[in-house]
Every structure is written in structure tokens, then in C-alpha cells.
Amino acid sequence: MITRRRQASIALAAVLIAAAACQAQDRPGPSRPSGQPAAPAPSAAHGFTLVASGDVLPNSSIIERAKYDAGGYGYDFRPMFAGVQPLVSGADLAICHMETVFGEVGDYTGSPAFKSPPQVADGLAATGYDACSTASNHALDDGAFGIQRTLDALDRGGVRHAGAARTVDEANGVSLMRVGAAQVAHLAYTYDTNGIPLPQGQPWAVNLIDPDRIVADARAARKAGADVVVVSLHWGTEWQDKPNEQQLRLSKQLTASLTNGRPDIDLILGTHAHVPQAYEKVNGTWVVYGMGDQIAGEMFNQQGVRDLRGNESTVGRFTFAPPAHQGGRWQVTKAEFIPQAFDLDAGRVVNLNVALDQGADVVGARDQIRNVVFSRGAAKDGLVMGK
């Protein structure tokens, strides 16, 4: 996180935002059909790039910032994402994590029961996100109505979603997205819903983590035509930068699952812990244990202490190449992470690698994230820090 004392980084953020916001504001809004990537379709020879980012968690201060950025006309979340817009829109497929549900008009709240303005979906779409995971511990903060409003708003913005459902047919369906020559399936699950029971008669409303169910869903996605299966998992221990036992056990179990010698899952993306966690190649499959919070207000850890890590995150970028033979696996040929922070004063996401010349605080935050990301030996498997 960047504090008020980091004036140099704020100045840089303003420059980045001004340039990127012009692009975002000039865009007429998402007009692509649901499920179609914003970036030009890649050729089969070159495969495709996938980027994924951490939790979007609109605390009360984030909601107020979006109201301010809208200039008195509703809520505008586009400027917050402006610094990451070139990175996201430059990918062939971009996946976010929508931590909260959307409230009714004017009924917006932060912690502990989140209800966010639906304009968040417009901000995600304008930034270039193609899909979001929606399974989280806050998915039932406003019951089934919250899920309905959230998925309706994402649909209006042309942003696909996985992890929560409005109907049993939607819950049993497969979210497939065409990315050049590949069909990519996105699945999402959460460890819990903060003890809130699933809506009566709707046990399918939110996907809960169950290893057997995840494998079965991945195999169903393959049968439906998926070349690449991406699984988003809302898991881990809050404020702990090391993966917990469930994460380690489940990552091994899921990545070991094969059908006819081919892995059932091609990439695992983790959220929930509020802080960046390690990347690791497990059984030949990349696992991101936790990307941290991409958008969040001032964060306090479990001891009630303000924790700068709660505004730090990574974006994962993975380049997939077509299989060498028909029916083979699409291979990750390049794995990267990009360190980020959310500048509370400017109310903007900042790419820390772009801001490196802005002082020791920025370099220190970048290095801290890098050390955590590499803490389980991902460098030896080829993970690099990108820009």
C-alpha cells in the first residue's frame, strides 16, 4: 500500500491514470457479445495470453471514491483500474475476482456485509476483463437477491462469470470462452460463505470447494469442448502469505487428476487471503495460491492493526501454446507475475514495476511481493516478474 508519505508514487500514478483514463473514457462501453474477448483473437500458431488478478473488495471508502470520481453522477470505478487497463486489455483473456455482491439502488455497504454499486461491473468491462469468479465467502451477503443483481450487472457489461448461479441450469452449465483456437472453461469455488446457509431450495447458488465435484466439473468441461480448464479457488488463511494445509493438499490432489493421461485442470488461481501468496508449479500445473486484493480500502489484519500488505497484489500472466499433437495439452510456455499496489490517497491501482523510480517505498513493496511469490521455488520452473 502507498501511504500519504509516498508523494512521488502518487504523482506517478496520476500520470499513468491520466493517460489510461483517456483510453477508458473514450471507449463507448462493452459492446462485444458475452464471452468474446476484448483483444483480437490470437492465431493458433501463437496460442494466447491469460491474465488474472486478485480480489475486488469495495470497502465503504472505495464506494465513496467511486462516487467522487463520477463527479456527482452515480459511481465510476473506471479510473481506479486505469493503471492496470493496458495490461488487462492487452491480454487475450482476462479474469478477475468479484469478491462482493451488488446492492439495490442506493443500498450500498462495506464490511462486514458488502453490497457494492453495480457500476463496478462497468469498470471491470471498460478495463478489459472478460470474466470474473464470483464464488467467495461474501457471495451470500445479500442472499439470492444479491447474486441475481450481481450476475445481471455482469451480463449487462458483457463480463462472463463463474462460481454463483441464478438457476439450476446456470449452475450445471459450463462457462466456455473462445480464445482464438482454444476453448477455455472457467470454474470457481469458495471454502465457505461466512456461515450463511445456501438459500432454501437453491443448494446450487454458490459453488463450495469439494475436490470430487471440482474434478467432475473439469471433466464435464472437457467433454463440452474445453481445451484449457482454469479453476478459481477462494481459499487460504487471511493475512497469511504462506499457503495453508488445505491449499497445499488440494492443489496436489487437483493437479494430479488425469483423464487418459491428460491433466484435468490446466491452471489454478487463488484468492481470499488479502495478501499476495506464492506461485508454484505442482504436478506440472501452475498454481497461484493467492493474488491479494487488487481493489480495497484501508485494511486491518486480524489483530486490528493496519496492514500495508492488504493493498498489495499480483497479476498473473500465462502464455499458452497449442498442443504438439491432437488431443494433447495446451502448454504454459511463459509464466509471469506483475506486482501491484492500491494507492489509497489517489484511489488508483499502480503497477509497481512501472513506478520503480519513485523511491525506496515502492521498491521495498515490489521486493516484498517478489520474495513471497518466489518463496516456493517458482523461479526454477521459469516464473519471471513481468511489466
Q: What is the pLDDT of residues 319-345, one digit of tens each?
A: 999 998 888 999 999 999 999 999 999
pLDDT of residue 5 exceeding 60, the answer is no
Distance CA 329, CA 266 (A): 8
Least confident of 16-25, 129-138, 203-212, 370-379: 16-25
Q: What pLDDT does 29 receive?
A: 35
19-30 pLDDT per residue, tens: 343 333 333 333
Peptide bond into 112 cis (omega under 30): yes
By percentage, how much of the chain surpasses pLDDT 90?
A: 83
110 — pLDDT class (breaks 50, 70, 90): very high
pLDDT of residue 45 exceeding 80, the answer is no
pLDDT of residue 369 exceeding 90, the answer is yes
pLDDT of residue 17 exceeding 70, the answer is no
Q: What pLDDT does 11 receive?
A: 38
Q: What pLDDT does 271 receive?
A: 98
* DSSP 8-state secondary structure symbol assigned to residue 29: -
Q: What pLDDT does 361 receive?
A: 80
Give this prediction's pTM: 0.89
Q: Please return the burial class of 296, using the count of CB atoms within 10 Å of its CB with bins 0-12, 13-18 and 19+.
A: buried
Q: How much is the mean pLDDT over the chain?
A: 89
Type of residue numbered 190 = T
165 — pLDDT class (breaks 50, 70, 90): very high
Say if CB 292 and CB 55 are below 8 A apart. Answer: yes
Higher pLDDT, 34 or 96: 96
Q: What pLDDT does 326 receive?
A: 86
Q: What are phi and psi of 366, to 5 degrees?
A: -60, -45
Half-sphere exposure of 341 (CA within 13 A, CB side): 31
By percentage, how much of the chain surpasses pLDDT 70?
A: 87
pLDDT of residue 43 exceeding 80, the answer is no
pLDDT of residue 7 exceeding 90, the answer is no
Q: The C-alpha cell of 150 is what? A: 450481481
Q: What pLDDT does 40 receive?
A: 43
Q: Which CATH number fits domain 7-385: 3.60.21.10, 1.10.1660.10, 3.40.50.150, 1.10.3720.10?
A: 3.60.21.10
252-282 pLDDT per residue, tens: 999 999 999 999 999 999 999 999 999 999 9
173-229 pLDDT per residue, tens: 999 999 999 999 999 999 999 999 999 999 999 999 999 999 999 999 999 999 999
pLDDT of residue 302 exceeding 60, the answer is yes
Q: What pLDDT does 357 receive?
A: 58
Mean pLDDT score, 94-107 = 96
What distances in angstroms separate CA 301 from CA 23, 189, 227, 237, 319, one per listed residue? 36, 24, 40, 12, 34
Q: What pLDDT does 30 receive?
A: 34
